[in-house]
Chains A and B, each alone.
Chain A
Amino acid sequence: MTLPSSAIAIRGLCKSYGKAEVLHDIDLEIARGATTCLIGPSGSGKSTLLRCIAFLEEATRGTILINGQPLGFEEQPDGKRVRVPAHQIRRVRSGIGMVFQQFNLWPHMTALGNVTEALVTVNGLSRAEAEARGMAQLRRVGLEARARHYPSELSGGQQQRVAIARALALEPKILLFDEPTASLDPELTGEVLNVMRDLGADGMTMVVVTHEIGFAATVGRRIVFLDHGRVLLNGTPGELFAAPRHPRLTQFLETYLDRGAAMLLKPA
């Protein structure tokens, strides 16, 4: 079986909370082995879209294919949308890792415990084997020496790197990040962005919701600009950020001058 060219294929995705529709008919292909950055004004639906891909939210309409496999819902030939069996949902989901703005480490487990939890509890590995794998992931994010520390004993940047190691432990094909540096002090964002840069260079498929415009412009292979629950722009950084620029994007960038947008806006 040859893999479809896109890691994630989103077709006609709509999401409503009660009567309010917050995502309108999203069609989006996420390229394999590349970093896609999702940017847009607050409330434009970035988190909601990412959470739909992580299956933390169930879309109201439309389908998502992960490497060609339906996530949660499947469109039948007659156009009817049906839920796929639970075990299949879990299998498809296991190929996706998620990193949150608030880290969400489990406070009663060490860094290594957080990373190995799923390996032991879900995959049934022995503790020794899980710890060997867990240490390898912690090494990857530069935190081998902190393995036995509890989250409360780690800085925000270190906690987020542990969270990345935790997401990597199950060896997912796709990593999702929702504003991974937004709750970090400015001097700590660099260490997290560097880890993400390395992952991108290793060929990981990543979807990153971020306000770090500088990061998006330099690491993002594709930029998706969301506005009012729609994909307004989708292209390479060169295409999107170079003049002539879409007026909504310019307006958006002007509010992020301190996050690296200044260099994109300055006249050449």
Chain B
Amino acid sequence: MENSDEALCRRVAERDEAAFDLLVERYRERAWRLAWSILRDAEAARDVSQDAFIRLYEAAGSFAGRARFSTWFYRLLVNRCLDHRRRNRWWRLWARDEGEAPGGETLLERQPAPAYDPGDALSREQAVSALWAAVDRLPPRQRAVVTLQAQEELSTAEIADVLKCSQATVRVHLHRALKTLRRTLEKR
């Protein structure tokens, strides 16, 4: 049996649970990483990454197979990331797990503590921390574009597909984002 992502998605449309499990297995890490990168909030990323798979299960029949499955799935996921504030929050209130630490830490707190090693390595590490802290402060769509480009290594055409906008728009988002990031580094 063919096990490409696209073939699995067609099987999910026929309510094949094993195919769904395989796609979850293949894409859950990417979904989690991408949702977290865009939202910078562990609980929201958890919610949205699960949401994307629920949507995948329900909408698998509408996957036309013209695009790559990964692009289609990224679109489900990124749309949910960008919308998440507008969505109904009942589930999170209902299923909040007290056993888990809240995901409110900042990016800087998550960075490993810099070694006491004055010089290039330290200043470089600080520069990288400042850079990603600046990515955190970008508007959501710009952050999504930077993340899809730097982290998922998608081309401009693929990012346009994911965000359902023109390549020119992606270029403008990326240009603005990089300009902001550059200014941040130069100010240091």
Do chains A and B stick together as partners? no
Chain A residues at the B interface, C-beta cutoff of 8 Å: none
Chain B residues at the A interface, C-beta cutoff of 8 Å: none
